[in-house]
Amino acid sequence: MNEMRQIIAETDQDTLVQLVVDAFRRTVVHYGHWFAQVEHQLGMEKALAVENDVWSASLGNQVQRLGKTLDFPVENGIPAVLNTFSKEALIDLLEKLGINWLANDGIWFQAVESRFGMNDAKRCNDSCWTRYSPFEAERIKKILNLPENGGIPALQKALAFRMYALINEQSVEKVDDSCIIFRMNKCRVQAARKRRGLDDYPCKSVGLVEYPYFASAIDKRIQTECIGCPPDPHPEGWFCAWKFTLAA
Q: Per the structure, how many domains does the chain have? A: 2
Compute the distance between CA of residue 238 and CA of residue 47 in angstroms, rounded to an integer. Answer: 35
Q: Is the peptide bond before 231 cis (omega within 30 degrees of 0)?
A: yes
| Cα gap 9→181, rounded to integer Å | 60
Distance of CA 89 to the CA centre of its chain: 21
Instruction: Supply the pTM of this predicted model.
Output: 0.90
Q: Which residues are registered as beta bridge partners of 240?
A: 184
Q: Which of 84, 104, 139 is the last residue of a domain?
A: 84
Domain boundary among 68, 84, 100: 84
Burial class (CB in 10 A: 0-12, 13-18, 19+), 248: exposed
**Cα separation of the two ends of the chain:** 70
Residues 240 and 175 in one domain: yes
Same domain, 72 and 148: no
Query: Does residue 95 lie in a domain region?
Result: no
- Chain centroid, CA 156 distance in Å: 17
- Indicate if the pLDDT at residue 1 is higher than 80: no
Q: What is the pLDDT at residue 2?
A: 83
**Cβ(164)–Cβ(243) below 8 Å:** no
For 44-98, write each residue's pLDDT tens digit.
Answer: 999 999 999 999 899 989 999 999 999 999 998 899 999 999 999 999 999 999 9
Q: Is the domain of 35 the same as that of 134?
A: no
Q: Do 144 and 245 belong to one domain?
A: yes
* CATH number for 153: 3.30.1380
pLDDT (average), residues 143-166: 96
Task: Establish if 14 belongs to a structural domain.
Answer: yes
**Residue predicted with more confidence, 5 or 109:** 109
Q: Is the pLDDT of residue 236 over 80?
A: yes
Mean pLDDT, the chain, whole residue set:
95
CA gap 237, 183 in Å, rounded: 9
User: How do residues 169-199 score in pLDDT, each as one tens digit?
Assistant: 999 999 999 999 999 999 999 999 999 999 9
Average pLDDT, integer, range 225-231: 97
Structural domain span for residue 37 = 1-84
- Per 3-state DSSP, the chain is made up of helix, strand and coil in percentages (nearest 5) of 65, 15, 25
Q: Average the pLDDT over 214-240 and give the result.
A: 97
Q: Is residue 97 part of a domain?
A: no
> Smallest Cα–Cα separation from 158: which of 214, 212, 208?
214
53 φ, ψ to 5°?
A: -70, -45
pLDDT digits (tens, 9 = 90+) for 143-152: 999 999 999 9
Same domain for 67 and 173, yes or no, is: no
User: If pLDDT is split at 50, 70 and 90, which confidence band does 3 have?
Assistant: confident
Give the pLDDT score at 248: 79
The pLDDT of 104-126, averaged and rounded, is 96
Is 150 contained in some domain? Answer: yes
